[in-house]
Structure 1
Amino acid sequence: MFLGLDLGTGSCKALLLDPQGQIVAEASRSYPVLAPGPGQAESDPWAWWQAVGEASRAVAGACAPRVQAIGLSGQMHGVVLSDAAGEPLRPAILWADGRATAELHALRALSPAQRHRLANPPAVGMAAPSLLWLKKHEPALYRKARWALQPKDWLRLLLTGRALGEPSDASGTLLYDLKADTWALDVVEALGLRSDLLPPLVPSDTMAGHLTREAAQHLGLPSGIPVAAGAADTAAALLGSGLGVGEAQLTVGSGAQVTVVLGEPRIDPTFRTHLYRAALPKQWYAMAAMQNAGLALEWVRRLLGLSWEEAYREAQEVPPGCEGLTFLPYLSGERTPHLDPEARGVWAGLGLHHRRGHLVRAALEGVAFSIREGLEALAEAVPSGKPLRLAGGGTAEPFWQQMMADVLERPLVVGQVRSASARGAALLGAMSIGFPVPRVRFPMVGEIRPQDSVYRKPYERFRDLYARLKDWMRP
């Protein structure tokens, strides 16, 4: 059997896969996202470690002696500053962090050729601007650090004692040359960053080490189990869902991503969308990345004191368009298509007739509208009417699925596996030891077709609201 560990923004998922590619068991353990200051997002890596151990022991159980390999996936873009042994020097800075706005100027000042090879727009929350911020504001820790690792790469260091990176996560750092398929050391030098903080790179399906005795005890597994390099969560999800070249997927978790698998690298000339390495060799994926999906909806739910069941029930009692209420979900800024770290959340159009259910439904609609904007930014990469496969833990509610289909005006296809990133991680574990686990393309259990176009006018109001407020949002 093969264990996949997915280190997400708010929880760790563990999944056990059998040799036929079928899921045997799943478990999840959560941890908090910290906000030490306005626009900041951090996590305690030791909280990740605790959750990984609990989730692993929950799924392994009596099957522990049969686990042949471990694969990893994890949230992208963050920075874990650590010593040589993996001891974190400070909380991890996450992808949703917006503190490094001023540091984007250094990335925009790179030569056109350098920016083209990075293949991605400068955005806060990525490793390069976060490292520039750390160098400026926490210079002693920056000098003391041995490694600046992506979250799942830090986890692998604790599991194996080896510090390594791999292309799918590295390509999301703004320090990676997509054309040369390696670290962009000239960019690192131009930014004045330390190249020795970056770990050596190996392919995603490579055996990156073996489980140490201490880590094995923590995970409830035998020591010496091979551990794969693994992949970024979105790349792992594409593998775990069985998507082929040209197919598109919508993933809704803390953020939302629309992705399409490519057989060759195609850089967006407008630099509104992203291009990253996939988990498999000679594959890439284009992505529209929206920062605030489950992140914003969970904030609204907690603010209003609702359970998820209550939130969905009250939202369904409100008509589409929320009787004039519009929600901008940009609580942590926004990437696609605005690339605006200073964007902020808004409820606009409130009246005495609005109730709690209006606030919830407006939030759901606002997240769906932001996904549509991202989808439109991908343009011809995802042609009009092309179905999207659903993935991620935030896509299970039928009412929410139908709303997204109606807003996007295209079919959504539901598969049998929700933990696609953890499944992709387990597959990479199997591949790392040469085990031919079939990359099962899960049968679809349903298709949600758009029922009407009632959201067109509310969507235009949504777009107009941001356009009118974006200058007002500036500090």
Structure 2
Amino acid sequence: MHFLGIDLGTASLKLAIIDEQGRERAASGATYPIETPVHGWAQTPVSAWWQALVDAAAHLPSEARAAVSAIGIAGQMHGVVLVDAHARAVRPAMLWPDTRAASLMDAWSEPQPNPVAPGMAGPLLRWITLNDPQAVAATRWALQPKDWLRMALGGSVVTDPSDACATALAFASGEWDHALIDRLSLPRGWFAPCCANSYALAGTLSSEAAHALGLPAGVALAAGAADTASAALGSGLTHDGDALVTTGSGGQIVVLSSDEPTPARGLHRYRTATGQWYRMAAMQNVGVALETVRGWLSYASWPDAYRDAFHRDAAPTNGSKLSFLPYLSGERSPWMNAAARGGWLGLSLDDTRGTMMRAAFEGVAFSLRAGLDAIRANAHASGGAPVHRLRLAGGGSVEPRWRQLLADALDADLEAVSCPNVGARGAALVAGLATGHWREADLPALAPPAEHVASPRGDTALAARYARFLDLYGRTEGWFDAPF
């Protein structure tokens, strides 16, 4: 008995098959581009998602595929797929980095259950109703990405609380806010019924999809979960206060909560795959900022960049006053400032590209700390568990010196999760829950191993530079939004 997890990400799709003991038996993946036909747009044809799924499935061993008894899906949050009455996509899927609706945010006056961004389903659908009447006339369903994929596999047209609560069209609980939907002049009939949880059964794999993927027809399909909720589950977060930091293109800090968190500006409070809650700080400029800086400084490889940045001659203790704001594309948590911008301040004739690269690493680490501090303050105010230890995941978190800087900046112990496919693993666990093979009480024992990789060293000089970083952001916060 095997369980297949599908992780439909922004630029790639990952698959993982786990067995009845929760051990990973096979994994694969495929990538696809994000299209930007107009400045500020971010979209992908759903045909690219389907082809990626077919290609990735073909790289899984046939014997592992033949043993699959249920499928779970994790999907990128916030975006939306419009389909007609025949389940055909009306237009390419619109994705969370999309900013075409940035001028339409006035419909979401404060307070909101969660911060609202232009790339969420609500603003994107408002843009559609104002700008694309043909799409409006053709649309039967407005689906979240993972819900479209489950439908394409032969499943039911439903959603789940972990995805619905992040659309800017629902209450924090995940139930649709029909009054808001009506006020935006969006048809109520566009929105799929919401299941009780992510592991509700939601149809079976069609014979056509089974043939395309080399899987048994008729296997169970779970409703599935938002990618962050799935990654938290796949990383082993199960108890109140369990925390995860991910460092991909952006960064996320997720902390589980048994009770509904109190609202806080700049923080999200979303539902987990199992009906709990989590606080989340979402930072836009982590890997994308570091990769951009590496290009600016003409480093041919990451090892070269790490070598110079963490060489003793680049250490700020050698007299450099250099600071770096990483907000190259605005920022979400904790500032919620789309106009924020980045750059170095404090350059001197003595600085080198090594000191500039080191300042960039510190600036990104400090931006993550600002998000974590917001979570800590919110948790403290509401009696939540303190955060002194975080699991660490993400492709940009393997360099030991970078891990140590993160531990020092976050003032927390870091434990690296051994599983590279936490989103797909979480989706596979949801499939096992859906069929009754596991119960929620079994989940702690199914957590992947995590190796302790760094502890904070109580670096007082780093703490002073963090205070300087916060002061620098505060001084420039309104500057980039001011007219020339």
One-letter code aligned to 2:52: A
1:356, distance to aligned residue in structure 2 (A): 4.0
CA contact (8 A) 2:285 2:327 kept: yes
2:479 to 456, 472, 475: 472
What is the 5 A alignment of 1:405-420?
A: 405-420=407-422
For residue 57 of structure 1, what is the aligned residue in structure 2? Answer: 58
For residue 421 of structure 1, what is the aligned residue in structure 2? Answer: 423
Instruction: Describe the shift of the 1:41–1:292 C-alpha distance in structure 2 as closer, same or farther (beyond 3 A).
Output: farther
1:296, distance to aligned residue in structure 2 (A): 2.8
For residue 319 of structure 1, what is the aligned residue in structure 2? Answer: 315
Matched, 1:393 2:395: yes
CA contact (8 A) 1:205 1:431 kept: yes
One-letter code aligned to 2:433: M
SS in 2 for 1:407: helix
Instruction: Describe the shift of the 1:52–1:362 C-alpha distance in structure 2 as closer, same or farther (beyond 3 A).
Output: farther
For residue 186 of structure 1, what is the aligned residue in structure 2? Answer: 179
Instruction: Describe the shift of the 1:350–1:89 C-alpha distance in structure 2 as closer, same or farther (beyond 3 A).
Output: farther
Cα distance in structure 2, aligned partners of 1:129 and 1:46: 24
Aligned residues: 465
RMSD: 2.5
Deviations along 1:438-460, whole A, 9 cap, x unmatched? 43123332241012243223323
Q: In percent, how many aligned pairs have the same letter?
A: 45
1:301, distance to aligned residue in structure 2 (A): 4.2
Instruction: Describe the shift of the 1:108–1:249 C-alpha distance in structure 2 as closer, same or farther (beyond 3 A).
Output: same
CA contact (8 A) 1:237 1:422 kept: yes
CA contact (8 A) 1:292 1:332 kept: yes
Matched, 1:234 2:201: no
One-letter code aligned to 1:467: G
Matched, 1:217 2:217: no
One-letter code aligned to 1:172: A
CA contact (8 A) 1:188 1:194 kept: yes
Matched, 1:461 2:468: yes
Deviations along 1:39-97, whole A, 9 cap, x unmatched? 44333333222222222222343311111111111211112223234433333222222
For residue 376 of structure 1, what is the aligned residue in structure 2? Answer: 373
For residue 127 of structure 1, what is the aligned residue in structure 2? Answer: 121
For residue 359 of structure 2, what is the aligned residue in structure 1? Answer: 362
Matched, 1:443 2:449: yes
CA contact (8 A) 2:82 2:93 kept: yes
1:249 to 230, 240, 244: 244
SS in 1 for 2:59: helix
Instruction: Describe the shift of the 1:131–1:377 C-alpha distance in structure 2 as closer, same or farther (beyond 3 A).
Output: same
SS in 2 for 1:450: coil
Query: What TM-score, normalized to structure 1?
Result: 0.90
For residue 341 of structure 2, what is the aligned residue in structure 1? Answer: 344
Cα distance in structure 1, aligned partners of 2:341 and 2:137: 34
One-letter code aligned to 1:436: W
One-letter code aligned to 1:209: G
Say which one has the larger Rg: 2
Cα distance in structure 2, aligned partners of 1:421 and 1:328: 30
Cα distance in structure 2, aligned partners of 1:200 and 1:29: 30
Gaps of 5+ in 2: none
Instruction: Describe the shift of the 1:38–1:459 C-alpha distance in structure 2 as closer, same or farther (beyond 3 A).
Output: farther
One-letter code aligned to 2:408: D
One-letter code aligned to 1:446: H
1:273, distance to aligned residue in structure 2 (A): 0.9
Instruction: Describe the shift of the 1:328–1:217 C-alpha distance in structure 2 as closer, same or farther (beyond 3 A).
Output: farther
For residue 325 of structure 2, what is the aligned residue in structure 1? Answer: 328
Gaps of 5+ in 1: none
CA contact (8 A) 2:5 2:428 kept: yes
CA contact (8 A) 1:321 1:455 kept: no
One-letter code aligned to 1:319: A
One-letter code aligned to 2:438: P
Cα distance in structure 2, aligned partners of 1:176 and 1:473: 32
SS in 2 for 1:251: strand
Cα distance in structure 2, aligned partners of 1:321 and 1:222: 61
One-letter code aligned to 2:410: L
For residue 272 of structure 1, what is the aligned residue in structure 2? Answer: 266
Cα distance in structure 1, aligned partners of 2:213 and 2:337: 40
Cα distance in structure 1, aligned partners of 2:306 and 2:208: 44
Instruction: Describe the shift of the 1:142–1:355 C-alpha distance in structure 2 as closer, same or farther (beyond 3 A).
Output: farther
CA contact (8 A) 1:16 1:60 kept: no
Instruction: Describe the shift of the 1:265–1:402 C-alpha distance in structure 2 as closer, same or farther (beyond 3 A).
Output: same
For residue 434 of structure 1, what is the aligned residue in structure 2? Answer: 436
- Deviates most, 332-341 or 137-146: 137-146
One-letter code aligned to 1:431: L
Cα distance in structure 1, aligned partners of 2:136 and 2:292: 32
Query: What TM-score, normalized to structure 2?
Result: 0.88
Deviations along 1:333-368, whole A, 9 cap, x unmatched? 211111112223434444555444444433332221
1:405, distance to aligned residue in structure 2 (A): 0.6
1:385, distance to aligned residue in structure 2 (A): 5.9
